[in-house]
Structure 1
Amino acid sequence: MDTGRALDADGPTEKCGVVGVSFAERDAALPLYYSLYALQHRGQESAGIVTHDGFQQHSHVAMGLVGDAFSEDDLDALNGPTGIGHVRYPTSGGLDSSCAQPFSVSFKSGSLGLSHNGNLVNAGELRSELENLGHAFTSDGDTEVIAHDLARNLLEADLVRAVKRTMGRIHGSYSLTIMHDDTVLGVRDPEGNRPLCIGKLDGGYILASESAAIDTMDGELVRDVRPGELVVLREGGSGFDSYQLVERENTAHCFFEHVYFARPDSVIDGTLVYEARRGLGRRLWQESGVDTDVVMPVPDSGRAFASGYAEAAEGVEFAEGLMKNRYVGRTFIMPTQDERERAVRLKLNPIRSTVEGRTVTLIDDSIVRGTTSNQLVDLLREAGAEEIHMRIGAPPIVAPCYMGIDMASREELIAADRSTEEIREQIGADSLAYLSIDAVAEVLGEVREDLCLGCVTGEYPYDIEDEATDRDVDRPRIDDQGLPADD
């Protein structure tokens, strides 16, 4: 039975957003609520906040968007100057309230709350081990695995050593905001795959997936959390302490944060996302520019790329040629294939005066399944475009992501087994070109070895079953108790 697909399902889907705050005097709930609004693009399935008033933990987690998940009474009940928050899109675990975050647990050494952005590649192995030790799980998500492992380590070690032990056991991508009793801390995976940053607020400090959340609170970006670093926010919002717990020779920054996921006004690893996308657009012109009457973006993610492309083209008109219906949400379901193929008209409508009788360069951030690209080309031809040249601000996506992005299976990826020319024929464009991997690295100011390129190369920063790997990560040796042997 065909159960349908969400209208936006042709593209990659955001992962999750995390935040944590510590204040001297004010309650944390409202700042967390506003920060989650700023991170709403990273997850729309559920939202949650956990706070601590110095005596006990308070939690509210619900399905839906931030504005629907919390009432004024809910926020009033979340007492205390410290707290963490989360918006979720499910990349591991089911689509139900049992996997919504922050995940909370009380144990012998106190209370624990945890928010996770990313995906573990050894969660099943750790879950089985912890179950054999008597741990009972209430969800099938990997976040609960991290929480149980950390709670176990906190029974035997202080906070910093416990976090280090857990980091030695979990493999994959993660940015975490954690609350142990009333202490808030942030952790970034040793490869820095998922983003996390530190900000200074009026009367406190904040940890967040993106700097846009700090801006929303009228705060000041201090810096990114370093790969393998633990940051502990001091009591009373007076500052933070840093512990570099794991060192790696190379990072594995997710280049797709700059291409697609992050808000354009966020700074990720020292680079403003909007300027990165414009730079990628300029390189796209240099590598594969074609003279046309107009350059137009696929809204909204193609806009900055198209702006940079048109600027580099010098004299080519930049114009909006597709109008987006912002009231068609990502959960809109089309029950049959025929309806899905026409569903793009609900979301995007051509501006005929921009395209009729003209040659067009259409700029998008990526092509995943190819369905939407084909529909857009058809729309523009029906609107009178004489030629349609498609340019993509990222390399072809040839493999799945195992680091926390809901992209597509290998069988669904249009570039997995097709050449660029074959893809061009399938989507119906007059020409098609992608940006090169080297151009992405150069624009982001990185070397290829410091980027996670698994989805465009099939080579991953971690060993994935039935997949290749592009590096031999030097992992800590684990003793017979499941702890780093040198700890």
Structure 2
Amino acid sequence: MTEKCGVVGISLDGRDAARPLYYSLYALQHRGQESAGIVTHDGFQQHSHVEMGLVGDAFSEDDIESLNGPAGIGHVRYPTSGSVDSSCAQPFSVSFKSGSLGLSHNGNLVNADEIRDELADSGHAFTSDGDTEVIAHDLARNLLEEDLVRAVKQTMTRIHGSYSLTITHDDTVMGVRDPQGNRPLCIGELDDGYILASESAAIDTLDGELVRDVKPGELVILRADGQGFDSYQLVEQKQTAHCFFEHVYFARPDSVIDGKRVYEVRRDLGRKLWEESGIDSDVVLPVPDSGRAFASGYAEAADDVEFAEGLMKNRYVGRTFIMPTQDERERAVRLKLNPIKSTIEGKTVTIIDDSIVRGTTSTQLVKLLKDVGAEEVNVRIGAPPIVAPCYMGIDMASRDELIASDKSVEEVADEINADSLAYLSKDAVAEVLEQSRDDLCMGCVTGEYPYDIEGEEADREITRTEVPADD
């Protein structure tokens, strides 16, 4: 799996927004490493800089100095829709009769092709194959005939899927969250303005205060003077579809997502993992870094089991999922993680990880631990088995690549050569998040999705309630 994207929007009282946006993107770098970009507006014209690569490589000091204006948005991207090239890098910018637009998108539309064809038939020319440009063109068309709030509402009623958006319309900054709240978005207060961001960690980086999450179906418009924001609940639905994997893996542990501190959620999931499938062993080891909080909670619940660091991470090695071949992925595991022999030799070991996708990493880790003398290696996973792809904005393997898609737990244990394997249950995840399973998106672990997707099963009938734009 790869992270989705990170979005941010800032409106300040007179001070240029480019540098705070730059720092915010650094805080969201874990959500996308392919490209980074910033769009600002100085009250007269729009400024844009978008480049491939990490945030630190995409911007020079001169680039930041050239992005004038107290209002702007930013984006870090990992592709889930569209090409892997500069044409799909964001924010996407467009100028039209009613002004200029900048748009950053985290998520994935399931009806982008349908809307693209309709817009193309009416004369719109597209420069990329990504769904972000579809949203921008649709919003630009609506702005020719409607005021800002009504234009956004019309676009929201047309696009289906997951999205958190930060948008500039000239020097107005706004944020939109999809009606099921699948992708995260929150509001923060700064000393001289307000910020919208995918995660609260970006707000913390700027010494701001988290105000709240943007509600599903809500439009938030930051005031141009940096003195507040206005809220419009444009679309309502009976059910949400919050992505549970934000808490399990994607979000930074120091972030707050939908009112829950991610680190504490992961510790609670680890405690539940012990309650459901705890096994006596000499030592509990986390798989760094995402397994650490789970393992801490698991060991605490076990009471008399030692928690220890038994795998050291080489932080100068890229992530294993970006390696193009299976052989390279297997080699990258050893480059990335090295066992501490004194912690492992002659002991029964339980390793805790957040998930198993292809099984490559788990197989290599079990082998590493046994090669350095572990008497027994048990694997515990802080999420249910991943059995299906994600269509809501996570770049996940196909069913053919997912090890659990056609294998039982026992068969997966045999495949990775573990002495035992257990996953956390879906009900335990819902209990820890204090939400009904019906209000969570669990498509990757159930094969049922909150939207109709060709060839897949939907788990609900979508009924939207439109709220008058002037309410």
Task: Give the TM-score normalised by structure 1.
Answer: 0.95
Q: How many residues align?
A: 468
Q: Which amino acid aligns with 2:244?
A: F
| 1:94 and 2:83 are equivalent in the alignment | yes
State the AA in 2 paired with 1:290.
I
Structure 2 distance, partners of 1:276, 1:71, is 37
Paired residues of 2:281 and 2:305 also in contact (CA < 8 A):
yes
Q: Distance in 2 between matches of 1:350 and 1:131?
A: 55
Structure 2 gap segments, 5+ residues each: none
Is the CA contact 1:50–1:59 (under 8 Å) kept in the aligned structure 2? yes
- Number of the residue aligned with 1:14: 3
Shift of 1:342: 3.0
Q: 1:95 to 1:334 in 2, by over 3 A?
A: closer
Match of 2:318 in 1: 329
Task: Tell whether the 8 Å contact from 2:291 to 2:353 is kept in structure 1 after alignment.
Answer: yes
Q: Is the 8 A contact 2:237 2:464 kept in 1?
A: no
Describe the superposition over 1:69-113 as per-residue Cα deviations: whole angstroms up to 9, x where unpaired: 000000000000000000000000001001000000000000000
Match of 2:165 among 176, 179, 186: 176
Kept in 2: contact 1:168–1:476 (CA 8 A): no
- 8 Å contact from structure 2 (residues 6, 198) kept in 1: yes
Q: Report the Cα offset of residue 329 of structure 1.
A: 1.5
Question: Deviations along 1:308-337, whole A, 9 cap, x unmatched?
Answer: 000000021000110000000138976764
Distance 1:210 1:238 in 2: 21
Q: Could you tell me which amino acid in structure 2 is paired with residue 162 of structure 1?
A: A
Is 1:149 the counterpart of 2:142? The answer is no
Aligned-residue RMSD, C-alpha: 1.4
Q: 1:337 to 1:40 in 2, by over 3 A?
A: closer
Contact 2:380–2:422, Cα closer than 8 Å, also in 1: yes
Task: Tell me what 1:7 maps to.
Answer: none
Give the match's secondary structure for 1:236.
coil
Alpha-carbon deviations, 1:117-158, whole Å to 9, x = none? Answer: 000000000000000000000000000000000000000000
1:130 alignment partner, SS class:
helix
The one-letter code matched in structure 1 to 2:18 is: A
Question: For residues 172 and 301 of structure 1, what CA distance do their matches in structure 2 show?
Answer: 27
Q: Specify which of 113, 116, 133 is matched with residue 127 of structure 1.
A: 116
Residues 387 and 447 of structure 1: CA distance in aligned 2, closer, same or farther (over 3 Å): same
Counterpart selection for 1:368 from 357, 373, 389: 357
C-alpha separation in 1, matches of 2:103 and 2:152? 12
- Rounded Cα–Cα distance in structure 1 between residues aligned with 2:325 and 2:247: 34
Q: Distance in 2 between matches of 1:241 and 1:334?
A: 44
Partner of 2:92: 103
In 2: Cα distance, 1:332 partner to 1:186 partner: 31
1:81 aligns with 2:73: no
Q: Is residue 112 from structure 1 mapped to residue 101 from structure 2 by the alignment? A: yes
Q: TM-score, normalised by structure 2?
A: 0.98
Give how far 1:54 is off.
0.3
1:292 equivalent in structure 2: 281
- Structure 1 position 338, deviation (Å): 3.8
Q: Which residue of 1 aligns with 2:406?
A: 417
AA aligned to 1:52 is H
Matched, 1:225 2:214: yes
How much has 1:341 moved relative to structure 2? 2.6
- Aligned mates of 1:475, 1:229 — CA distance in 2: 13
CA 1:339/1:215 → structure 2, altered by over 3 Å: closer, same or farther? closer
Pick one of 379, 399, 404 that aligns with 1:390.
Answer: 379
Aligned residue runs from structure 1 range 339-358, under 5 A: 339-358=328-347
In 2, the alpha carbon distance for the partners of 1:132 and 1:339 equals 45
Q: Secondary structure at the match of 1:62?
A: strand
2: CA distance, partners of 1:129 / 1:340? 41
Percent identity, aligned pairs only?
Answer: 82
- Structure 1 residue 474, shift from structure 2 partner: 1.3
Which residue does the alignment assign to 1:62?
51
1:52 maps to which of 32, 35, 41? 41
Q: Amino acid of the residue matched to residue 76 of structure 1?
A: E
In 2, are the aligned partners of 1:460 and 1:470 still within 8 Å (CA)?
yes
Is contact 1:191–1:251 with CA below 8 Å preserved after alignment? Answer: yes
> After the TM superposition, which residues 338-487 of structure 1 pair with which residues of structure 2 at under 5 Å, given as runs?
338-475=327-464
Deviations 1:156-179 (A, max 9, x none): 000000000000000000000000
Partner of 1:240: 229
Q: How does 1:8-47 map to 2 (within 5 A)?
A: 12-47=1-36
Counterpart selection for 2:261 from 272, 295, 300: 272
Task: Determine helix, strand or coil for the equivalent of 1:98.
Answer: helix
SS at structure 2 position matched to 1:408: coil
SS, match of residue 435 in structure 2: coil
Contiguous gaps of at least 5 residues in structure 1: 1-11, 478-483
SS of equivalent residue, structure 1 residue 237: coil
Q: What is the alpha-carbon distance in structure 2 between the residues aligned to residue 204 and residue 93 of structure 1?
A: 34
Letter in 2 for 1:120: L
* Residues 336 and 281 of structure 1, relative CA distance in 2, 3 Å threshold: closer
Contact map agreement 2:108 2:131 (CA 8 A) in 1: yes
Q: Deviations over 1:261-305 (max 9, x none)?
A: 000000000000000000000000000000100000000000000
1:399/1:458 contact within 8 Å kept: yes
